[in-house]
């Protein structure tokens, strides 16, 4: 199959402008139809929770409490 953009569409510049204007008017009409007629109330947003700030020392202490047989294993 030949990829020639002018194979099917033999149109003058004026015809192309008319087709484009028709599409623009249709697009604007559809956009206006989608817009709500009355403004909707703003939704309240919930702020995100603060990030967990676990320190390295607290993480090591928690692991040492959970796995006492591994206490100090990373020091060798």
- At 7, list the tokens: 């194979």
For the ranges 7-16, 29-38, 49-58, which has the lowest average pLDDT? Answer: 7-16
pTM of the prediction? 0.31
Percent of the chain with pLDDT over 90: 7
Q: Could you give the residue ranges of the DSSP H alpha helices within the chain?
A: 13-34, 56-66
**pLDDT for the residue 76:** 60
Q: For residue 27, give both structure tokens.
A: 């697009």
Opening angle at CA 17, ends 35 and 10, nearest 5: 130
Within its chain, how far is the Cα of 43 from the centroid? 19
């Amino acid at each position: 199959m030949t990829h020639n953009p002018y194979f099917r569409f033999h149109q003058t510049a004026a015809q192309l402008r008319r087709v484009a204007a028709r599409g623009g008017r249709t697009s604007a009409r559809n956009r206006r139809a989608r817009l709500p007629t009355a403004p909707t109330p703003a939704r309240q947003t919930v702020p995100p929770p603060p990030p967990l700030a676990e320190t390295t020392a607290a993480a090591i202490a928690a692991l040492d409490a959970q796995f006492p047989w591994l206490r100090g294993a990373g020091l060798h």
